[in-house]
Amino acid sequence: MKKWFFIPLTLLITNLVSAQFNESPILNKQNEDKKILNWGYFLGLNQYDFKIEYKENAQDILVSKSFGFNVGLIGELRLNEFFDVRFEPGLHYGSRLIGFPGFDDERDAIREVKSTYINFPVLLKASTRRFGNFKPFLLAGGSQSLNLGSNEESLDDNSSGTFRMKKWVYNYELGFGIDFYLEYFKFTPSIRGVFAITDELVPDNDPNSPWTGNIESLKTRGIFINFTFE
């Protein structure tokens, strides 16, 4: 599935880039960036991971990653020719498998962590000058995420098969992308990393738990591949 998704996408972006390097391209959407406010939406993919810090040296906890999806809205406030402030509320669904060492039974050793984040990022977009019908940019900012699948308030813990995380997490985000000005809309592929700055783990009730007893902190990190339409 990933193969059939990326092949046509790669061809599309390649054709867009080659078209923009014509000696005298026809300029599309010439007044697009002069508006004070811009609106749009995005679709994309994500891959979440965990950064785990330990209290004592021991065998590492393993994390198996998979692709999830993103969908959301965009509001952009123009500051000047080179800087914009963006608000990108979105829904991010992902899944991770955590493998704990020291267990013989797979039911005890593996926990599937399904996360549905509602993400609220505020980002500063720093762009170059427009070259024909494309314009590269960098993104940086912070976000707050609500994890709808956190299980934070559950009384059950890993001894009952329930892995618990905190509902709210704070992150910083860094990324880059290219705006392509097409005839009827602006299309933007971008890549962004997200890095949690707060511990998300809700420890098990037993402080000596074989699952969480040796974890000092557990923080989400991930990558977003978004495709924006404005």
Residue 98 lies in a domain: yes
Q: Could you give the CA distance from residue 162 to residue 181 in angstroms, rounded to a whole number?
A: 48
Residue 113, in any domain of the structure: yes
Cβ pair 36, 77 in contact under 8 A: yes
pLDDT value for 31: 78
User: Which tens digit of pLDDT belongs to each residue from 195-213?
Assistant: 999 999 999 999 999 999 9
For residues 43-53, one letter each, b for 16 or more C-beta atoms within 10 angstroms of the residue's C-beta and e for the rest, the string is ebbbebebebe
pLDDT in tens, 10-50: 545 555 555 445 556 688 877 778 889 999 999 999 999 99
Please state the pTM of the whole predicted model: 0.82
Q: Is residue 26 a part of any domain in this protein?
A: no
Q: pLDDT by residue (tens digit) across 100-150? A: 998 888 888 999 999 999 999 999 999 999 888 989 999 999 999 999 999
Question: Per residue in 79-114, pLDDT tens?
Answer: 998 999 999 999 999 999 999 998 888 888 999 999
Paired tokens of 139:
């993104």
DSSP annotation of 219 reads E
- Please give the average per-residue pLDDT across 54-70, as a whole number: 91
- Residue 201's identity, in one-letter code, is L
Determine the pLDDT at residue 5: 47
- Is 4 inside any structural domain? no
Position 221 in a domain? yes
Q: How many structural domains is the chain composed of?
A: 1
Asked if residue 6 has pLDDT above 60, the reply is no
Q: Is residue 219 part of a domain?
A: yes
Q: Structural domain of residue 191, as residue ranges?
A: 37-229
Task: Tell me which amino acid residue 124 is.
Answer: L
Q: Which residues, in sequence order, are CB contacts of 161 under 8 Å at separation 6+?
A: 107, 111
Q: What is the DSSP letter of 18?
A: H
Position 165 in a domain: yes
CATH for 177: 2.40.160.20
Among the listed residues 219, 229, 107, 115, the one whose alpha carbon sits nearest the alpha carbon of residue 159:
107
Residue 136 is predicted with a pLDDT of 96
**Positive or negative torsion for Cα 66, 209, 195, 167:** positive
In the DSSP assignment, the letter for residue 160 is: G
**For 142-160, what is the mean pLDDT?**
93
Q: Per the domain annotation, does 7 fall within a domain?
A: no
- Could you tell me the pLDDT band of residue 7, with boundaries at 50, 70 and 90? low
